[in-house]
Amino acid sequence: MKPALQGLRVLDFSRLLPGPYCTWLMADQGAEVIRVENPRELAKQARVFGWDRLSPEEMAHQRGRDMLARGKQSVMLDIGDAGAQQALRDLASTCDIVIEDYRPGVLAGLGLGYDDMAAGNPTLVYLSLTLTGATGPLAGKPGHDPVALALSGVLSRCGEDPEAPGLPGIPAADIATGAHAAFAALAAWQAAKVTGQGRHVDVAMADCSMTMLANILARHQNPADAPARGSRRADLGLWQCADGKWLCTTDMEPRYWAKFCEVMGKPEFIAAQLDPARRDEIRTTLAAIFAAQPRAHWLALFERAGTQFAPVNDVVEALAEPHFRDRGMVVEVEAPGGTLTQLGPPVRLGGEPAPAPARLPGADTHAVLARLGLDAQTITALTSAPQKT
């Protein structure tokens, strides 16, 4: 079986998490992703993270750990160089999709904007990823994941403290935006195949973050009526056990709630499932019961009863979970310097290429530019062009 996106070619200028996550999803489904890496930005990253002190072998291993660069080709060009800009426009003429995450107008100012790239490729899909988009009063606003969550109202719902919001601990806006961007790019690509016309797709992190409020708006005509942050139904729980470990239960359906209450020895709570007046009483009572036994005890009981539960795994425990390894969600990848544990494709359609470690920056520059018909002398001149700082 062929990979689902075999034949799709993507030129990827993105550097921050949403863009590389978007093109990682595509690459894992067989798309040819050509990653453009700017030597000036790589040098800054190396200084910030201490990579400039690594040996070549250590750098190869560090690069191999970059899961989001997996399966992508790497072209290293100074996008501030006129010759490199022309080469990139020529390269875009052979691609289906361009992804970029610079501030609005930056790439256009370098002759690498949508109009420049689409001039030689009318079916090109050019997707721009920014915090707040290219239109509206806040267009061009700088910021990262927490700012998107804050602006969109999502951060106000995060955490258990009713007095103060809490950061979620994962880059939720980045990941959500990357997934939405992949959908948007592929939808626009499909439309281009039908209509013969590409388009500039404007994806904003704040917009994508706001989709996380869908459940609140669906249930409450006036969002101000939504339950306060930190308030949970009695049938949803995070419970600490006698050994200090945690587990999660979600017995929301009546039949599961009944099973749960029977297991906990509290059948009198069955009828009070949706009674807000008894919520605190139920949770306090259940918390005391959970605290009397280690987590393994409760996991065994709930497994036999068939209720809805899971241990709250830490990252190490989750990666070791046999279920995820059996499904190919956790994989081992051979890389310079040793074996790497990585995440497999979250969606498996069949025919996906085997995961391979990320290639070193610029590893494919000569091969990719040669396909454009550039001779070795020209390629050497482009790759050794003085870097502007």
Containing structural domain, residue 277:
236-318
What pLDDT is stored for residue 14 in this prediction? Answer: 98
Same domain assignment for residues 112 and 65: yes
Which structure tokens are listed for 295? Answer: 């987590």
Domain boundary among 303, 318, 333: 318
Q: To the nearest whole number, what is the mean pLDDT of the chain? A: 94
Nearest to 38 by CA among 96, 101, 92, 95: 101
Q: Is the residue at 343 inside a domain?
A: no
Q: What mean pLDDT do residues 315-344 have?
A: 93
Q: Is the residue at 145 inside a domain?
A: yes
How many distinct structural domains can be found in the chain? Answer: 2
Q: For residue 75, what are the β-bridge partners?
A: 36
Same domain assignment for residues 120 and 181: yes
Domain boundary among 302, 318, 334: 318
Q: Is the residue at 331 inside a domain?
A: no
Q: Is the residue at 199 inside a domain?
A: yes
Q: Within a 10 A sphere around the Cβ of 60, how many other Cβ atoms? A: 17
Same domain assignment for residues 123 and 168: yes
Q: What is the 8-class DSSP label of residue 175? A: H
Q: Within a 10 A sphere around the Cβ of 323, how many other Cβ atoms? A: 9
Same domain assignment for residues 182 and 262: no
Same domain assignment for residues 163 and 245: no
- Check: CB of residue 153 under 8 Å from CB of residue 42: no
End-to-end CA distance of the chain: 47
Q: What is the pLDDT of residues 36-94, one digit of tens each?
A: 999 988 888 888 888 888 888 888 878 888 999 999 999 999 999 999 999 999 999 99
Domain boundary among 298, 318, 338: 318
- Give the number of residues written for the chain: 389
Q: Within a 10 A sphere around the Cβ of 377, how many other Cβ atoms? A: 8
Q: Is the residue at 339 inside a domain?
A: no
Q: What mean pLDDT do residues 337-360 have?
A: 89
Q: Is the residue at 84 inside a domain?
A: yes
- Give the domain CATH number at 306: 3.30.1540.10
Q: Is the pLDDT of residue 232 over 60?
A: yes
Give CA–CA dist 182/179, Å, rounded.
Answer: 5
- Give the domain CATH number at 142: 3.40.50.10540
Same domain assignment for residues 149 and 13: yes
Q: Is the residue at 270 inside a domain?
A: yes
